[in-house]
Amino acid sequence: MFDLINPSRIFYWIEKLIKFINSIFFVLLIIALTFALILSPPDYLQGDSVRIMYVHVPSAWIGLASFTVIALLSILSFIFKIKNLNLITKSIAPIGLLFTCLAIITGSLWGQPTWGTWWAWDARITSMLVLSIFYILFILAHKLIEKEDKAIKVSNLIAVIGLINIPVIRYSVDWWNTLHQPSSIKIDGTSSIHSSMLMPLMLMLLVLLLYCALILLMKYKTEIIRIKKKNIKRI
């Protein structure tokens, strides 16, 4: 199964996928922005400030999902000793850090008009800050440790320890009294968000996911070329 992510197998497809995403990205972006900024209604309580949700919520989801994927791939890489998985985790980490930071910044911009403060040391916000620290440590482990094997071991360990923080973020609004509101969207279908707001949210999520895929593919391709370049002399 892991042979499917073998660089020699997917290198050709990376190029094709990058071209495909580039071709549809801007059309989808314009549609999503039209819904988010013009067609979706203002909230009865928060007014137009609710539109920040369309960048804040997908950013937070991507930040959380990216770290979960990194941690799971790190565990798989540790068990099955597949070096290729480390190239993928290394490529995902900057994307996850970007979106975690964006979730914190846009959350702060949303907090000021709704709560009257830019920042509060509440459980959800603090645990998101902790997540960004784990991302920074993961990236620094790859940048600062020269021996690749050691860098991989340390970064995998950071990812596994950081995984503990994911359920803390997810359930922080249920476990503690927080300024942050509880989840409006639930996988079990009991969402409390109206479809006129859910649709733009899903469209923005799709656009940002496509962007993530684009960056991931470019970074993964860069990593493959870097390794092949290093190996030329050996061949």
Interacting residues with other proteins (CB under 8 A)? 7-8, 11-12, 15, 33, 37-38, 42, 47-49, 51-52, 55-56, 59, 94-95, 98, 101-102, 105-106, 109-110, 112-113, 208, 211, 214-215, 218-219, 221-222, 224-226, 228-229, 231-232, 235
SS3 category, 43: strand
Instruction: Output the smallest distance, CB 112 to other proteins, in A.
Output: 6
Structure tokens of 88? Answer: 């993928």
Nearer to other proteins, 154 or 216 (CB): 216
> Whole-number minimum distance, CB 155 to other proteins, in Å?
19
Closest CA to 97 of 126, 119, 130: 130
Which strand (E) or helix (H) includes residue 150?
Answer: helix 148-162
Phi, psi of 43 (to 5 degrees): -75, 145
CA atoms lying within 13 Å on the CB side of residue 152: 18
Q: What are phi and psi of 164, to 5 degrees?
A: -60, -35
DSSP 3-state of 47: strand
Residue 51 or 124: the one with the smaller Cβ distance to other proteins is 51
CB 47 within 8 A of CB 104: no
Nearest CB to other proteins, comparing residues 177 and 231:
231
| Cβ distance to other proteins smaller for residue 147 or 229 | 229
CA angle, 131 as apex, 176 and 174 as ends, to 5°? 20
Least distance CB 33 / other proteins (angstroms): 8
In angstroms, give the least distance from the CB of 233 to other proteins: 9
* Minimum distance of other proteins from residue 24's CB (angstroms): 15
> With respect to other proteins, which residue has the nearer C-beta, 191 or 222?
222
User: Which of 38/187 has CB closer to other proteins?
Assistant: 38
If 0-12 CB within 10 Å is exposed, 13-18 middle and 19+ buried, where does residue 103 land?
Answer: buried
Smallest distance, Å, CB 159 to other proteins?
21
